[in-house]
Amino acid sequence: MGGGRPFDRLPLGRTARRGRRVTGTSTPVAGADDLDALRGEVRRWARRRIAPLIADVDRTQRFSRELWERLREMEMFSLPFSEDVGGAGGTFSAYVAATEEIARAGAIAALYPGTTVQVADTLLRLGSPAAVRRWVPGLLAGDVVAAWAFTEPQTGSDPRQLRTEARRDGDDWILDGAKQFISYAGVCSLALVFARTPGDKVGAFLVDTTTPGWSTGPPVEVLGLGGGEPAPVYLDGVRVPADHVVGDPARGFEAMLAGESQGKVRASAICVGIAQRALDEAVGYALRRTHRDQPIGRKFASIQAHLADTQADVLAARALVRSVAAMVDQGRPVAREAAAARLVAGRTAREAAGSALQVCGAYGWTREMEVERLFRESKFFEVTQGSAEIQRAIVARELLNAGEEAL
């Protein structure tokens, strides 16, 4: 992409360099033209540098250092952070737009920066100065792979049922317990671990994974998006120094919610990217495949209906995700909107992949076409990282709470 930062040649550059970090309260929001320019640049880069690696990562279900390095090349880990903390000077909206385009080339690539960015942002908001100095530069440079360790084997993602415990030992804390389905568990240098603290509270603890007592099991084989190597984590007397407690040890749940809200917006952008790629594949096939010398997309109204409905859904989902990302840039709470975006974008991805499969027919069912992979990946965010049912519960709760306040 030439010398200097990849985004410097874009119209977004001037706006992005004025931006504050992802959780800032007065971040200028890039205009639609700026974001469209960014999307185009990232799309071209991702086609060249990301797309050729995706099939192998999907087949092997192994973490790809080469893919990680190419994302570092694009500064994806530093994009939503201000230059005064070592970031690329972008906005959360820019990060979300870039994430969608990377997901269009390969959803697993768009997943890679997520937990590292999420841990870095949480640290910048709540971490001790010592922890920020030690870890943030490496996180933003992509030198450090970070994991977000919340989910547990028996309790899923319900914070009220966490069994991992943290107890004081002098100024330090000792962690004991287990986690499940933790992406990058076996390759990360740092993990943000959530554990129950005295008084039935939840705390957030930074764990250097070289610390004695941290261990992981083998990665779990999954239906799709296995390149993050989700695996169990075991914590056996892991010692955490006082300056690696993130925020108040009784208020880790709030730290989790803030990080998860932004994670949902990122996940929604990935879903839009999957949906757009499914539509791309369907359109391409509808133009190439002929029936009596005429492209099926020109000949059959049923094919046109699949394409038109998918296009409408993708445009609507993208607009919603952009809107919520802008709210994050403005420092506004997004619990309800982020969950709603996850619902809409997740459904759009699933239906778009299903429609693409219908358009492509038996050929789409083979592993020779991208549609088969997209079909598997499209269900991911309705089942994992907070299921669709959980998102509906969050939206309903926030809606009812707002209704009570209005009465």
Mean pLDDT, to the nearest integer, of 147-156? Answer: 87
φ/ψ (deg, to 5) at 168: -75, 145
Q: What would the pLDDT profile of 339-383 be if each residue is shown by its tens digit?
A: 999 999 999 999 999 999 999 999 999 999 999 999 999 999 999
Looking at residue 1, what is its pLDDT?
31
Of 27 and 96, the structure prediction assigns the larger pLDDT to: 96
pLDDT band at 194 (very low <50, low <70, confident <90, very high): very high
Contact 207, 190 (CB under 8 A): yes
Of 254 and 401, the structure prediction assigns the larger pLDDT to: 401
Looking at residue 13, what is its pLDDT?
42
Task: Single out the residue of 41, 122, 31 nearest to residue 81, CA to CA.
Answer: 122
Q: What would the pLDDT profile of 257-271 be if each residue is shown by its tens digit?
A: 888 899 999 999 999
At 333, list the tokens: 């709470």
Q: What would the pLDDT profile of 202-243 be if each residue is shown by its tens digit?
A: 999 999 999 999 999 999 999 999 999 999 999 999 999 999
Contact 252, 203 (CB under 8 A): yes
**Does this chain's domain 146-250 share its CATH topology with 254-402?**
no
Angle at alpha carbon of residue 274, lines to 273 and 276, rounded to 5°: 65
Looking at residue 28, what is its pLDDT?
42
Residue 214 CA to residue 360 CA, distance in Å, equals 47
* Domain limits, the chain: 12-111, 146-250, 254-402
Q: What would the pLDDT profile of 63-87 be if each residue is shown by its tens digit?
A: 999 999 999 999 999 999 999 999 9
pLDDT > 70? residue 329: yes
The position carrying tokens 């960014």 is 38
pLDDT band at 16 (very low <50, low <70, confident <90, very high): very low
What CATH topology corresponds to 146-250? Butyryl-CoA Dehydrogenase, subunit A; domain 2 (2.40.110)
pLDDT > 80? residue 14: no
Looking at residue 27, what is its pLDDT?
40
Mean per-residue pLDDT over the chain, rounded: 91
CATH number for the domain formed by residue range(s) 12-111: 1.10.540.10
Looking at residue 31, what is its pLDDT?
61
Mean pLDDT, to the nearest integer, of 285-309? Answer: 97
Looking at residue 30, what is its pLDDT?
54
What CATH architecture is 254-402? Up-down Bundle (1.20)
pTM assigned to the model: 0.91
φ/ψ (deg, to 5) at 359: -65, -40
For 163, which DSSP code?
A: -
